[in-house]
Amino acid sequence: MSDFTSNFWSVYVAALTLIGIFACLILLWVTARKKVASSADNTTGHVWDEDLREMNNPMPRWWMWLFVLTIVFSLGYLAAYPGLGSYAGQLGWSTQGEYTLEVAKATRELEPLYARFTAMKPEDAAGQPEAMAIGERLFMNNCAQCHGSDARGSKGFPNLADGDWLHGWGEAAIVAMINQGKVNQMPAQADKLTEAQIHLLTAYVWGLSNKADAVK
Amino acid sequence: MGSPLKPSPAPVRKVIPIAPVPVDETMVSLYEAQKKIYPRSVSGLFARWRWGLVFATQLVFYGLPWLEWGQRQAVLFDLGARRFYIFGLVLYPQDFIYLTALLVISALSLFLFTAVAGRLWCGFACPQTVYTEIFLWIECRIEGDRTARMRLDGAPMSLEKLVKKWFKHLVWLGLALWTGFSFVGYFSPIRDLGLAFLQTRMGSWEVFWVAFYGLATYGNAGFLREQVCKYMCPYARFQSAMFDRDTLIVTYDQARGEPRGARSRKAALQALELGACVDCTLCVQVCPTGIDIRNGLQYECISCGACADVCDTVMDKMSYPRGLIRFSTQNGVAARWTQSQMLRRVLRPRVLIYSAVLLALCLGLMLSLVLRTPLKVDVVRDRAALSRIVEGGQLENVYRLQVMNATESPQRYRIMAQGLPGLVLASDEFVSVEAAQSRWVAVRLHLPYGAATAGSHPIHFEIQAVDADATVSEKSVFLVPR
């Protein structure tokens, strides 16, 4: 709601929500107290189309308590989570925070997996099927958009699989290129990928031009 | 054009007033306090059928996750890895159509059984009925039958009552949690799950679902019981809509039973001016939904036949013929048809149509499962470059193939591309895929420059298992730039 200059809409939404909940509560209270007429034969006493009679089949009372429960839940929810206009909720939960947590958790879980390969030189890691599978997935997510899913590039995007090294040869050159990118040509990846991920990407890219030693 | 329309005479409308019928009225609340039902235990033909189905369904439910098939669980729905194992079958999410077919078949079976024999599903096979039956049996063993339970509930709290109630709930909870455990065992290998439980290292979602499913079973079968059928179940309502006058229902033979009344067992029926109903109310006492079947067909009736069983025992004691309450049809009771006369009415159009559609679908599903190729391929064109020129004056297009191995052994596949003269595969011809795994491979196709006009040309990939009989053909296009 940060797009708005005043908090009118926030108050408007919050008020509508609370009025709605309150109206439900009043409706429940009224219907719980209301009495209706019922005939001795358990019909409502109404007759339609000459002989259609309506049976009186009331709801069980515990059902009403379920409704009350939903109201209690909604109030608790609105207090804890964002929902009332721009009020953020007592727990401070947000989708962005949730995403950050999930990424941090995934990174923690993947670290021991990566650790096995970060100790290896890229040319050794390129001989490990698992390392190459990780490298391939990283490549697909971060590099294939320009360099192509087979890493053979296209016009303006260098072919990484042909053994021609346009910007220096070997591990250091690959790592430097991924980290810093090239002005006006390739975005730097240092902030987007972890060191371990860049190491595995390097192994994968190294393996592309040295297929004989690398696992396919 | 333009001629004035003749005013049509006003339609004659019969006005039927909505008239309140003056009868003695009482004021009642919109919500009713629920009366607890204490069904009396019953034995007889339909009770035996019901217990047979309890055992049949629950042996499958509790037992299936423990079956092994080769190196793995026979039936396992691995949601994390998106693989669904059913005995020899390895299904991918792409096989979802089979689940659709299964659901359509289930729905049609429900239609068919309902048209023939009413709410058979409700009374005999529905989990709600089955678990209620089991929970009632436990309750009956611990607290006693109907009258003993009513007495116990009415009695003030005592040590005996406390012990009985606690014991009952503990047994219920134990069974309910075992049910939840079995349920989760279909999604998470049950032997590992059991081991994880013993070492108290179950995952939080596993704990949640065991508890959720378990407590739902406990609540549904222990407390809600018939109220699920009466107030919540949509099947109950739409099954009633599929009845006709030739549908088997539990009927009370009013012509034979009325006027009802108590009498001595020795009195001759003819001399009494009474019907066969001795008004013992046992049919009401055994009813799990608490209705009186003698009032005719009611929406609460789940067709379990408990009243028919208990009435037969009473008829036996009175030495009257059985079947005062029996499975029959409305037409059958009204016209006093014999069983074979009613059976003849089973073959009516709606039953025949349901059966024909159901049979066709079952055959179709079986055929498609038998003829299924244990290999799937998805072709996606590479998104980076439409087409490029490489050494030797060749045009190159890049594709990504997802090769899915639906067998339980590692496979080698051969990739071929056809559809344009001069089209050759420039990347590896063979690809290996681990058992029940899928793999993305980049595939490059070459076409000599000038071999085809500019534009998009349809081609197809053919992927063939090297050591097995499985071939899949997938369409794609080859782009030639201008």
Which one-letter amino acid corresponds to residue B436?
Answer: A
Q: Which residues of B touch A (CB under 8 A)?
A: 16, 18-21, 23-34, 227, 231, 382-385, 388, 390, 396, 398, 400, 427-428, 440, 442, 444
The per-residue pLDDT for range A102-157, each reduced to its tens digit, is 989 988 888 888 888 888 888 888 888 888 889 999 999 999 988 988 888 888 88
The reported pLDDT for the residue numbered B1 is 42
The reported pLDDT for the residue numbered B14 is 67
Beta-strand pair B430-433/B411-418: antiparallel
CA distance to partner chain A, nearest, from residue B389 (Å): 9
The reported pLDDT for the residue numbered B16 is 64
Q: How far apart are CA A169 and CA B313, in angstroms?
A: 95
Q: Which residues of A touch B (CB under 8 A)?
A: 31-32, 34-41, 45-50, 53, 56, 58-64, 140, 144-150, 152-155, 157, 216
List the domains of chain A with CATH numbers: 8-80 (no CATH), 95-215 (1.10.760.10)
**Closest Cα in chain B to A31:** B30
Minimum-distance CB partner of A146 among B231, B384, B398: B384
For residue A171, with 0-12 CB atoms within 10 Å meaning exposed, 13-18 middle and 19 or more buried, which class applies? middle
Q: What is the DSSP letter of B72?
A: E
A contacts of B391 (beta carbons < 8 Å): none
CA distance to partner chain B, nearest, from residue A114 (Å): 21
- The answer to whether the Cβ–Cβ distance between A149 and B28 falls below 8 Å is no
Q: Is the peptide bond before B9 cis (omega within 30 degrees of 0)?
A: no
CA distance to partner chain A, nearest, from residue B27 (Å): 4
**Overall average pLDDT of the A209-214 stretch:** 66
**Closest Cα in chain A to B34:** A60
Say which residue the tokens 């396919």 belong to.
Answer: A216
Mutation site for A-interface testing, chosen from B14, B18, B21, B400 by largest number of A Cβ within 10 Å: B21
Q: How far apart are CA B38 and CA B287, in angstroms?
A: 9
The reported pLDDT for the residue numbered B7 is 54
Q: Are A1 and A9 in contact (CB under 8 A)?
A: yes
CA B429 from chain center: how many Å? 46
CA distance to partner chain B, nearest, from residue A110 (Å): 17
- The answer to whether the Cβ–Cβ distance between A63 and B398 falls below 8 Å is no
- The answer to whether the Cβ–Cβ distance between A32 and B398 falls below 8 Å is no
Q: Are B375 and B462 in contact (CB under 8 A)?
A: no
Residues in chain A: 216
pLDDT band at A162 (very low <50, low <70, confident <90, very high): confident
CA distance to partner chain B, nearest, from residue A5 (Å): 42
SS3 of A31, please?
A: helix
CA distance to partner chain B, nearest, from residue A40 (Å): 6
SS3 of B425, please?
A: strand
Written as tens digits, the pLDDT of chain B (482 aa) is 444 455 555 566 766 666 555 556 778 888 888 889 999 999 999 999 999 999 999 999 999 999 999 889 999 999 989 999 999 899 999 999 999 999 999 999 999 999 999 898 999 999 999 999 999 999 999 999 999 999 999 999 999 999 999 999 999 999 999 999 999 999 999 999 999 999 999 989 999 999 999 999 999 999 999 999 988 998 888 887 888 889 999 999 999 988 898 888 887 777 778 889 999 999 999 999 999 999 988 888 999 999 999 999 999 999 899 999 999 998 998 888 888 888 888 899 999 999 999 999 999 999 999 999 999 999 999 888 888 888 888 999 999 999 999 998 999 999 999 999 999 999 889 999 999 999 999 999 999 988 889 999 999 999 999 988 899 999 999 999 88
Backbone angles phi, psi at B39, to 5 degrees: -65, 135
DSSP for B106-168, please give it. Answer: HHHHHHHHHHHHSSHIIIII-HHHHHHHHHHHHHHHHH-SHHHHHHHHHSPP-HHHHHHHHHH
- Cα distances from A36 to residues A66, B25, B265, in angstroms, run 22, 9, 46
Tokens of B1: 């054009």
Mutation site for B-interface testing, chosen from A35, A149, A155, A157 by largest number of B Cβ within 10 Å: A149
Minimum-distance CB partner of B384 among A61, A64, A154: A154
Q: How far apart are CA B372 and CA B226, in angstroms?
A: 43
CA distance to partner chain A, nearest, from residue B449 (Å): 17
The answer to ipTM > 0.85 is: no
**Closest Cα in chain B to A155:** B388
- The answer to whether the Cβ–Cβ distance between B34 and A46 falls below 8 Å is no
**Closest Cα in chain B to A56:** B30
Tell whether the torsion through CA atoms of A163, A165, A168 and A174 is positive or negative: negative
B contacts of A144 (beta carbons < 8 Å): 382-384
B contacts of A35 (beta carbons < 8 Å): 27-29
Angle at Cα B93 formed by Cα B88 and Cα B95, nearest 5°?
60
pLDDT band at A164 (very low <50, low <70, confident <90, very high): confident
B contacts of A41 (beta carbons < 8 Å): 23
Distance in Å from the first CA to the final CA of chain B: 60
The reported pLDDT for the residue numbered A214 is 59
The reported pLDDT for the residue numbered B28 is 81
- The answer to whether the Cβ–Cβ distance between B28 and A56 falls below 8 Å is yes
Minimum-distance CB partner of B30 among A50, A58, A147: A58
A contacts of B30 (beta carbons < 8 Å): 31-32, 34, 36, 58-59
Mutation site for B-interface testing, chosen from A69, A154, A164 by largest number of B Cβ within 10 Å: A154
Q: How far apart are CA B301 and CA B284, in angstroms?
A: 12
A contacts of B34 (beta carbons < 8 Å): 60-62
The reported pLDDT for the residue numbered B85 is 94
A contacts of B378 (beta carbons < 8 Å): none
Q: Are B90 and B408 in contact (CB under 8 A)?
A: yes
Q: Are B131 and B217 in contact (CB under 8 A)?
A: yes
Minimum-distance CB partner of A38 among B18, B28, B33: B28
Q: Are B315 and B329 in contact (CB under 8 A)?
A: no
**Closest Cα in chain A to B35:** A60
SS3 of A67, please?
A: helix
The pairs formed by B347-350 with CB atoms below 8 angstroms and a separation of 24 or more are B348/B246, B350/B115, B350/B244
DSSP for B7-23, please give it. Answer: PPPPP-------EE---
Which one-letter amino acid corresponds to residue B207?
Answer: V
Instruction: Give the list of residues 6+ apart from residue B188 with CB closer than 8 angstroms, or none.
Output: B203, B206
Q: Are B300 and B272 in contact (CB under 8 A)?
A: no
Q: Are B342 and B249 in contact (CB under 8 A)?
A: no
- The answer to whether the Cβ–Cβ distance between A59 and B19 falls below 8 Å is no
Minimum-distance CB partner of A32 among B31, B231, B385: B31
* Maximum C-alpha span of chain B: 112
- The answer to whether the Cβ–Cβ distance between B398 and A150 falls below 8 Å is yes
Q: Which residues pair with B379 in a beta bridge?
A: B401
- The answer to whether the Cβ–Cβ distance between B396 and A152 falls below 8 Å is yes
B contacts of A31 (beta carbons < 8 Å): 30-31
